[in-house]
Amino acid sequence: MKDLLEYLAKSLVDNPNDVQVEMIEGERSVILQLKVNPVDIGKVIGKGGRIAQALRTLIKAAATKRGKNAIVEILD
């Protein structure tokens, strides 16, 4: 899940080297914290949160496959 979010985020932003993902894994849930360069924040959130929503949906599907619930936080 971490690799997935990292790959997607890096593909979306102008500064892929500034993408950081921290994963906090619990027994049943996973929290993924995404940090990007401040100039790229719009690139991972999108108009009306459209991109952030898509990222969350896809990560949640990946987590479901592992029997977990995933929460994606975008830090600014």
Partner 1 sequence: MREEKRDWYEFTGKSVEEALGKALEELGVEESQIEIEILEEPQKGFLGLGGKEARIKVILLAEGAVREKLEGGEAAARAQAPEETGGETKDSSEIETIVSRVLKLMDIEARVEAKEKADSFVVDVWGEDAALLIGKGGNTLEALQTLVNLCARRKISTGKKVIVDVEGYRKRRKARIEKQAQDKAKEALEKGKSELPAMTAAERKIVHVALRDFEGVRTESVGDEPERRVVIYAEKNKKTSVSRETETENQ
Q: For binding to partner 1 (CB under 8 A), which residues are involved?
A: 3-4, 6-8, 11-12, 14, 16-17, 23-25, 48, 50-51, 53-58, 61-62, 64-66
H/E run at residue 74: strand 69-75
Q: Is residue 36 within 8 Å of residue 44, measured between CB atoms?
A: yes
CB of 7 to partner 1, least distance (A): 6
Query: Would strands 29-35 and 20-25 be described as parallel, antiparallel, or unpaired?
Result: antiparallel
CB of 8 to partner 1, least distance (A): 6
Taking alpha carbons only, the member of 76, 61, 67, 74 closest to residue 26 is 67
7 vs 76, beta carbon nearer partner 1: 7
CB of 76 to partner 1, least distance (A): 19
